[in-house]
Structure 1
């Protein structure tokens, strides 16, 4: 039997505002709470960083933008390094919250900390450039983009995000994303991951257009689709031997909690792949945010998470088993 590699995917990691304030009085690793050991044991860990890393800049006011998130890189980079964050998506609606100076600080902090990123860059070409990282001998390619906040889009000579208006029936969208996928495939990676910050907040199910688009991504080479943005986890789907995580919810933040959708609850999504990059299994560990840190969910909360994930995955006919406190989805071999 071949060796396997375990890759972790999370929803939004927002280290600013009250999280940042709390971290002034505790060690960097405290933000990972009781999940720290599980995170550290992964062979690779991939997140969406829902803030900039800077102490500079002014809040974005050029257009309506009510929330602004930034974290001090002096503690945030050691925290990311502590659990071995391997790559982070920056294609989202908060990376330019404090303007171009803070975005540049984010690039410099991640680069100095040895943490690759994608989905934002100093130019439009940089923002859309696929990333490649090595994890336990695997070459993993990443393509990252967002349909949030068009005013944050990078231009030919201006920094910003890899922005695209997602429409599976729009040729311009398909050409833009398809070109990035083709460039990622040209490197002949063992695994191709698409990280998409898409759609509106507080939705339990992806719209039909996103389902169509996610399947199109798989048909054009994606082995794993890593969705985030809704602040509520959505269902998972197996399609053509690939894995679609429609939305991975929130992992760490200080957000107000919706009493019905419970955006403080989600999962660590552990994907087991072979040493040649074949996706074999998904294991979902229930999590909950408390005291501005992420924790493994207590039994009653874990039960709620499992029940909701089974319910939200049922439209895709996904077979989900329970192992210990986690949910498991096995891909056909």
Structure 2
């Protein structure tokens, strides 16, 4: 049936309403709009979309700067030390000292800074001596330096009582030898200097973004004296005005000051009052760590509080790193082990994980065979039972040795809170 024009228009109008209603319903379901909104309004009114709110970004806090430090006491090259190295030498070699240190190599390599007190000079113009024949004179072959550099040490202190054992010319040769090694291997060498200007050139080494200054002083040089007009320089402990000036200058140039102090009475675990007094002065002048040596025995250690409430730490004596002495108390040393931490926001310096690893110098009879230095964690009751010190010549005054005696020496010389026995 054909619709009339009017009915057709009405039908179209009804259809339009139905269509609009359908669109409106669809809009309500999907968009959640009001039923009063029309499709035309939706198409003509521009829709505004708000930009998503960005979460405020926070800058990551930088990590604190950290430097792991390890140190060792007297590298004392006795006659029997270099004779062991002579037996270990391969074809075309004179000496090989490296195997003597192999058991502690992992500790030295793991450190960011490793410091060694080199107790003997190295002069190729003079005979090799290691207190043999009863004369307490020391001069070592250059292979010693090769071994301890290969071991991982990068800071060497030379201020000790044996500097003039072979005279000033031999000392100058040794200084120049170590200076050359420093240039070739990025080392820091100090404690004996070519002249006054060299002595006042504060050694600073930057490690992991932390600047560390190193200073070294000696108590005496075995009664020897520099000849008149000799420019060589060693700063002595009694020169407190120089020490104070240098520590304060070092504190201005660096974040941390480490002082090597060659001092004390040999063959005792007791710390003298004059050392305690000087240690307190050094810390108050700005020293952060003091590494004591010279006594050939391990000694106690402690925090020292400055007048402003901050603290420094002193190891009164590290004892021997290697030697062939014949008293049991000379055969246990300590290896200071600690972290320098710089706060990333304030720049404040603290010392953390401070302590010392006991090191044992082992040899067997006859002729100081199988010589080597061990950390406590690698030494055993079985090794202690065959130690050669009871049979060594010349005979010492304390020659018994066992696992229990070893532990007694450690406990007598090192406070339990600072003992690192498992490293």
Residue number among 232, 236, 240 corresponding to 1:174 in the alignment: 240
Q: Residue deviations 1:144-194, cap 9 Å, x none? A: 1111225356987432422233xxxxxxx431211221221231x121011
Q: Distance in 1 between matches of 2:159 and 2:246?
A: 14
Q: Are 2:322 and 1:252 aligned? A: yes
SS in 2 for 1:120: coil
Structure 1 length as normaliser, TM-score?
0.82
Change (3 A) 1:29 1:124: same
Q: Residue deviations 1:50-108, cap 9 Å, x none? A: 10112213799xxxx931111111x1222122122121111101122222232223222
Give the number of equivalent residue pairs: 306
Q: Are 2:167 and 1:70 aligned? A: no
Query: Counterpart in 2 of 1:47?
Result: 116
Residue number among 189, 193, 212 corresponding to 2:258 in the alignment: 193
Q: Distance in 2 between matches of 1:323 and 1:234?
A: 15
Provide the alpha-carbon RMSD of the alignment: 2.7
Query: Counterpart in 2 of 1:267?
Result: 334
Q: More displaced, 6-15 or 126-135? A: 126-135
SS in 2 for 1:15: coil
Q: Distance in 1 between matches of 2:176 and 2:79?
A: 21
Q: Residue deviations 1:221-275, cap 9 Å, x none? A: 00001100111111000112211100110011222x224xx21111221111214
Residues 235, 310 of structure 1: 8 Å contact kept? no
Structure 2 length as normaliser, TM-score?
0.66
Higher strand share: 1
Structure 1: unaligned runs, 5 residues or longer: 166-172, 327-333
Change (3 A) 1:5 1:214: same
Change (3 A) 1:323 1:17: closer
Change (3 A) 1:7 1:152: farther
Change (3 A) 1:219 1:265: same
Q: Distance in 2 between matches of 1:287 and 1:218?
A: 26
Higher helix share: 2
Task: Considering Cα pairs closer than 8 Å and 6+ residues apart, tell me whether 1 or 2 has the greater RCO.
Answer: 1
Residues 6, 44 of structure 1: 8 Å contact kept? yes
Query: Counterpart in 2 of 1:146?
Result: 218
Q: Are 2:213 and 1:158 aligned? A: no
Residues 358, 420 of structure 2: 8 Å contact kept? no
Query: Counterpart in 2 of 1:242?
Result: 312
Which structure has the larger Rg over C-alpha atoms? 2
SS in 2 for 1:126: helix
